[in-house]
Amino acid sequence: MSKTTAACCAPRSAPAKPAVPVAAAPSAKRKSGVDRVRETLVKPKTPLAACLLAAVLSAACVKSSQDSGPKVRPGSNVRLAYDLIVDGKTLRSVTPQNPLTFVHGSQNLAPGFRDGLVGMRAGETKDIVVPPAQGFGAHDPKLVEPVPLGAFPKDFALEPGRLFQMKRNGVMHDARVVGIEGKNALIDFNHPLAGKTLTFHAKVLFVSAP
């Protein structure tokens, strides 16, 4: 058998199958800068959310506590701090460290101030505006009277505007020096705050039921 015949009759090897390209695993889609910003806005950090929730719950607890306490009414024991403001100036401050403690209705408070406290609870603040009629009354010109200079001690300085106390018709009164006329001193026996509108910035510190 010739070499040629042998070559023709020899069994042929199976042709190699063409390689099939293997698809690469899809890579994660890269997020754009806009997407990252959107995620940050939509998903707030847990610590911030927790702080906000705690603040809301704390405020709710304080409000609930204030809403459930006893209210000021006649006979209540009250502890109070306040500023008295007249003509834009603070004339008196009663601080929480040295508060006014009283039984409502028995203290000598201006009627408008006393009534304005009714219904308040511990922790509440309120601006109470008191007109002269509900405060210390209108200024009465008839209560400005001449008093002989001899009625005063020699060392008593009768300076206009000076406040002091003096007996009038056997009763002790607040008095203010208006001026001097001849041998008399003009003395105003009206309350120093008569005719004035009073503003009390009040804070109730404690209330107990009658």
Q: The domain that contains 64 carries what CATH number?
A: 3.10.50.40
Same domain? 84 vs 157: no
Whether the Cβ atoms of residue 84 and residue 198 lie closer than 8 Å to each other: yes
Residue 154, in any domain of the structure: yes
Residue 18, in any domain of the structure: no
Q: What is the pTM of this model?
A: 0.63
Residue 7, in any domain of the structure: no
Same domain? 92 vs 196: yes
Same domain? 75 vs 117: yes
Same domain? 122 vs 172: no
CA–CA distances in Å: residue 56 to residues 137, 166, 201: 46, 57, 27
Whether the Cβ atoms of residue 124 and residue 135 lie closer than 8 Å to each other: no
CA–CA distances in Å: residue 175 to residues 167, 171, 172: 9, 12, 9
Q: What is the pLDDT along the chain (210 residues), one digit of tens a residue?
A: 444 434 433 444 444 554 444 444 455 555 555 455 444 444 445 565 555 555 545 554 445 445 678 999 999 999 999 999 999 999 999 999 999 999 999 888 999 999 999 999 999 999 999 999 999 999 999 999 999 999 999 999 999 999 999 999 999 999 999 999 999 999 999 999 999 999 999 999 999 988
Residue 65, in any domain of the structure: yes
How far apart CA 71 and CA 62 sit, in angstroms, is 16
Same domain? 164 vs 106: no
Q: Quote the domain boundaries for residue 169.
A: 141-188
Same domain? 79 vs 153: no
How many separate domains does the chain show?
A: 2
Quote the distance between the C-alpha of residue 52 and its chain's center. Answer: 20
Residue 30, in any domain of the structure: no
Quote the distance between the C-alpha of residue 75 and its chain's center. Answer: 27
Same domain? 67 vs 91: yes
Buried b (16+ CB within 10 A) or exposed e, 47-81: eeeeeeeeeeeeeeeeeeeeeebeebbeebebbbb
CA–CA distances in Å: residue 83 to residues 5, 79, 199: 127, 14, 8
Same domain? 94 vs 135: yes
User: Residue type for 73, please?
Assistant: R
Residue 4, in any domain of the structure: no
- 170: tokens are 């056997």
Q: The domain that contains 158 carries what CATH number?
A: 2.40.10
Same domain? 89 vs 162: no
